Amino acid sequence: MTTFREHRSYTAHQTHDKLSLSEILEILAGGRLPLRFSAYDGSSTGPQDAELGLELLTPRGTTYLATAPNDLGLARAYIAGDLELRGVHPGDPYPVLSALTDRLVFRRPPARVLANIVRSIGIEHLKPIAPPPQEALPRWRRVAEGLRHSKTRDAEVIHHHYDVSNAFYEWVLGPSMTYTCACYPHPDASLEEAQDNKYRLVFEKLNLEPGDRLLDVGCGWGGMVRYAARHGVHAVGVTLSKNQAEWAQKAIAEQGLGDLAEVRHGDYRDVRETQFDAVSSIGLTEHIGVANYPAYFDFLRSRLRAGGLLLNHCITRNNNRHTASAGGFIDRYVFPDGELTGSGRIIAEAQDVGLEVVHEENLRHHYALTLRDWCRNLVANWDDAVAEVGLATAKVWGLYMAASRVGFEQNAIQLHQVLAVKLDDHGDDGGLPLRPWWRS
User: 29 with 104: CB under 8 angstroms?
Assistant: yes
Single-letter residue type at 379: V
pLDDT exceeds 70 at position 163: no
The domain limits of the chain are 4-126, 151-422
Q: Which of 30, 165, 195, 45 is nearest to 109 (CA)?
A: 30
DSSP designation for 53: E
Average the pLDDT over 23-34 and give the result.
86
335-392: pLDDT as tens digits: 888 899 999 999 999 999 999 999 999 999 999 999 999 999 999 999 999 999 999 9
pLDDT exceeds 60 at position 151: no
User: 421 with 355: CB under 8 angstroms?
Assistant: yes
User: 283 with 316: CB under 8 angstroms?
Assistant: no
Task: Report if pTM > 0.75.
Answer: yes
151-422, superfamily in CATH?
Vaccinia Virus protein VP39 (3.40.50.150)
User: 349 with 324: CB under 8 angstroms?
Assistant: no
To the nearest whole number, what is the mean pLDDT of the chain? 91
Q: What is the dihedral of CA 377, 378, 380, 386, to 10 degrees?
A: 150
Q: Return all residues near 374 (Cβ < 8 A) that are at least 6 apart.
A: 172, 173, 191, 401
- 292: three-class secondary structure by DSSP: helix
Question: Residue 142 and residue 140: Cα distance in Å, rounded?
Answer: 5
Q: Which of 153, 160, 150 is nearest to 291 (CA)?
A: 150
Question: Residue 138 and residue 144: Cα distance in Å, rounded?
Answer: 10
51-83: pLDDT as tens digits: 999 999 999 999 999 999 778 999 999 999 999
